[in-house]
Amino acid sequence: MNLAEISFIIMLAVMAVFYLMFIRPARKEQDRQENTIRDLRVGDEVETTAGFIGIVSDIDTPEEGPVHITLDFGNGIEIRALTTSVLRRIASADEGVQQDGAQEHQEDPQAEEVPEEAKKA
């Protein structure tokens, strides 16, 4: 092997390492972000890139242009934002319903039955 071939192999190795360390993780993060935005539903709790936490109250998908969401921050404060401002979903609306149902189910066995005599009294 001459010097040119060795230099070429080293350059390819550096490019491969650069790809594995920087480009590939960035693409995975971008795909995760796109999936999060695509799967947003009304009732999901999200964190914005500005650090605000709110609940999605409306999703507006126009024929052209970016998708807008309306975030409810409580106390009647609602803000309209682009979906790209969503950093991550904290909890989905479905998870909240399942958790509430699980809590109710757990409370039922703990409830004591009232004896018939106490009901008549």
Reported as a single tens digit per residue, the pLDDT across 37-70 is 888 899 999 999 999 999 999 999 899 988 899 9
**40 with 94: CB under 8 angstroms?**
no
Can you give the residue ranges of every domain in the chain? 1-38, 41-108
In Å, what is the CA distance from 60 to each residue of 18, 41, 43, 101, 105?
39, 11, 14, 29, 35
Q: Which amino acid does the sequence have at 82? A: L
Q: What are phi and psi of 81, to 5 degrees?
A: -145, 165
Q: What is the pTM of this model?
A: 0.60
The hierarchical CATH code for the domain 41-108 is 2.30.30.30
What pLDDT, on the 0 to 100 scale, is given for residue 60? 92
What is the per-residue pLDDT across 14-31, written as a single tens digit (0 to 9) for each? 999 999 999 999 999 889
H or E element: which one contains 93?
A: helix 93-110
In Å, what is the CA distance from 47 to each residue of 51, 61, 71, 75, 92?
6, 20, 10, 18, 12
